[in-house]
Amino acid sequence: MSKPVRLLVLTHNYPRSGDDYAGVFVHLLCRRLVQNDIEPVVLAPHDAGAAEYEEIDGIKVYRFRYASRDEDENIAYRGQMHKLVTGSLGGALRFKRFLDAFKSAAFETIARERINVIAGHWLVPAGLVMRTIARKTELPMILSSHGTDIRLMSKYFGLPYKYLRKLVFQLNAWTVVSSFLKNEMVRLDSNLQDRITVLPLPHDENLFDRDPLIEKDPNLIVSVTRYTKQKRVDYLVKAFSKARLSFPEARLEIYGEGSLQSEIEALIKQLGLPECVSIHKPVPQEVLREIYNRASVVILNSYREGFGLTLSEAMLCGTAVIGTNSGGIPDIIEHNRRGLLVEPDDVLSLAEAMQLLLKNSDLRKRLAGEGYRFAHDNYASSALAKRYANLVHGAVLS
């Protein structure tokens, strides 16, 4: 029997503890790859309170230090890396130190663990580290983009891609999580048409599933999101306010965090909704599963979403979904078959979609059933991990 492939996984987002959801889908993929003759070794940034080395579910996890004090290691895990880099000269210098430490730790891990293949997640910073590795080794490489990195391309005039273009054409594979993201990159460079593979995020089908012991609440609408401009939570609250005029028993629970939370809270008060709209912090996946199963409808109405993970997770839990006809969401929802699609920033249409599902239980059940079957067939981690493993093994053989 041949030895398993030793895969170095480069990521700036990975669980720091048992109940941490940061980069949890990367960890899920690593767990499933073990079942496909691959030994993942993870390299991620250190963060306050996290171990510099540990094994999680049998996977080796190294966390590199890039500052002398824990409180100064705050570049990763917070979704603000791009703002740090572009915000000031001091921020750019801090990011350079972070990147230099990442590169140094990568070469140390390659030697220590006798790595066969490099797998990076997100163009920045992993792609930047891979660019340096490619200049000094001949190790095969796979890059995966999950949305934010490609969405920021247009904001920064495609500069990260221009810097990494040579690396991109050296890659053995580049995966993105939706056809929307592939099309975005092909618009930037038509030569990428045959170089990018659409491979959705893996879902834990053993966790996210229908639970017959949890009773659906016919009046409950749930949104798992972030309070950012992209997520359009203000439009969601305004639409719910209109929908509630016909369904006064309806309730909206929002789970998330973000810089615009105080504005959303003020809007809820302004519209007189504190009794029926509640805001909650992010919760562990086990709790999220219960919430999806309890909800009658789950909504994600963001703009140019890279994928729309909350929708597909809810579908696996047998819940009807509403999403925007934008970004990668139409990959998940086929309108009036696996859920309902509304145009972005259309408060009235979103309100009408809520009302339609609140009043029509047969429609909810039909959409939920079709959505469950589709999500189970297309997003289950076992099947997606096998596809990814084929890319890894193919890279070794190339």
Residue 146, domain extent: 5-202+380-397
Say how far apart CA 19 and CA 35 lie, in whole Å: 23
Smallest Cα–Cα separation from 196: which of 133, 142, 127? 142
Rounded to two decimals, the pTM is: 0.93
Do 157 and 183 lie in one domain? The reply is: yes
Mean pLDDT taken over the chain: 95
The end-to-end CA distance of the chain, in Å, is 20
Contact 12, 103 (CB under 8 A): no
User: Does any domain span residue 95?
Assistant: yes
Shared domain check, 145 and 112: yes
% of the chain surpassing 90 pLDDT: 89
Q: Are residues 316 and 354 in the same domain?
A: yes
Q: Would residue 16 count as lying in a domain?
A: yes
Closest CA to 372 of 209, 257, 250: 209
Q: Do 169 and 270 sit in the same domain of this protein?
A: no
Where do runs of H (alpha helix) occur along 305-379? 309-316, 329-332, 347-359, 361-379
What is the spatial distance between Cα 227 and Cα 345, in angstroms, rounded to a whole number? Answer: 15
Residue 151 is predicted with a pLDDT of: 81
Do 393 and 348 share a structural domain? Answer: no
In a domain, 214, yes or no: no
pLDDT tens by residue, 190-208:
999 999 999 999 999 999 9
Question: Are the CB atoms for 73 and 48 separated by under 8 Å?
Answer: yes
Distance from C-alpha of 327 to C-alpha of 139, rounded to nearest angstrom: 33
Q: What is the pLDDT of residue 108?
A: 98
Q: What is the pLDDT of residue 50?
A: 95
Spans of the chain below 70 pLDDT: 1, 157
- The residues near 110 (Cβ < 8 Å, ≥ 6 apart) are 8, 118, 133, 137, 139
Instruction: Judge if 166 and 198 occupy the same domain.
Output: yes
Judgement on whether residues 133 and 71 belong to the same structural domain of the protein: yes
Same domain, 20 and 162: yes
Q: Would 257 be classed as within a structural domain?
A: yes
Query: Does residue 337 belong to any structural domain of this protein?
Result: yes
Into how many domains does the chain fold? 2
Question: Is residue 179 located within the same domain as residue 228?
Answer: no
* Short-list 357, 317, 351, 360, CA closest to 339: 357
3-class DSSP state of 203: strand
Has residue 64 been placed in a domain?
Answer: yes
pLDDT of residue 157: 67
Rounded CA separation 76/70 (Å): 12
Tokens 């700036």 belong to 12
Render pLDDT for 253-306 as a digit per residue (tens, 0 to 9). Answer: 999 999 999 999 999 999 999 999 999 999 989 999 999 999 999 999 999 999
**CA of 342: how far to CAs of 198, 223, 251, in Å?**
24, 15, 20
Place of tokens 């006809």: 325
**Tens digit of pLDDT for each residue in 96-118?**
999 999 999 999 999 999 999 99
CA–CA separation, 189 vs 158, rounded Å?
Answer: 10
Here the tokens at position 32 are 């499933």
| pLDDT value of position 205 | 95
CATH code of the domain containing 23: 3.40.50.2000
- Does residue 23 belong to any structural domain of this protein? yes
